[in-house]
Structure 1
């Protein structure tokens, strides 16, 4: 059985994660790898229900402490029910957002602080970390222009909030350059994918 790998895609709103997740899943399937594709918040019945509470504008405003604990509850169930079993089975788990999103959005965006967020994340994940995080970076103004209609509650936050989120992501990439690979998301989807494919091939070869 092949060793399981945990790969996450991160980035501000409008960075192009969905397109690259599609590319990743298709590429790995062609190589004969068993892929488990999921997302956060979500991925299980309980976590998807919590997602509705977190993202639907009608449930706001939400206190930042309540918000981070809801994300943590969804993540704990997701890791226990879906992610760890898939890794144990030797699958490659592809996840659209994970704990790094909470660091960026709640730690920096909500100003709860990196130390508190990391403690909560460690509890929720039982210290699980991705093997590789692909961080698609775009300036805030570009990302917000790319959004589809019907923005969710987080996407409706003001410009300064989204700038703090981006700064949190960039700080994470600076602190963990081996795990977190910073990718310029302002380029064409094809150019972004070419870089991601090179990174992935290196990981799989290793």
Structure 2
């Protein structure tokens, strides 16, 4: 068996659930152990995969470039992504892209506690790619399916440690995420009807 670390699967998640994923943990005490965000539907995520409309970019760095991107999903949920000197490719994409543009982002969830104790969740991008509308549409359909699968597992699982952890950490009805998935699918239908007219 090789000891080469494998990359974690990038989880597909809508903004509503991602922004509620305020609890993070490590599986070991090793300094280099991956940090996971616990999704409220009971799955751990070390990497996520999102597609949406980049609506705004801004250099929020003080001494060096540090780019913030605002990415809006089909049902209006918002992801914030931040890239600086350690993510040069992603930072240059945020610098060069002209919003609005459809983008696919693979990155790591990051949490940040504000002075008033709120926890904000953002994405530290590994890659940002400009994509077309059909790629965005496929992502919405697949993410809705994965979300509904996770909810079903959450509701039926008896002895799943991440589901148990989510039940303990979050007092959030998982039905919210099912609604987000359905709204996202409905927004696609509405868009395609509008284009067909």
- Tell me the TM-score normalized by structure 2: 0.30
- Higher fraction of helix: 1
- Tell me the TM-score normalized by structure 1: 0.29
**Could you say which structure has the larger radius of gyration?**
2
- Higher fraction of strand: 2
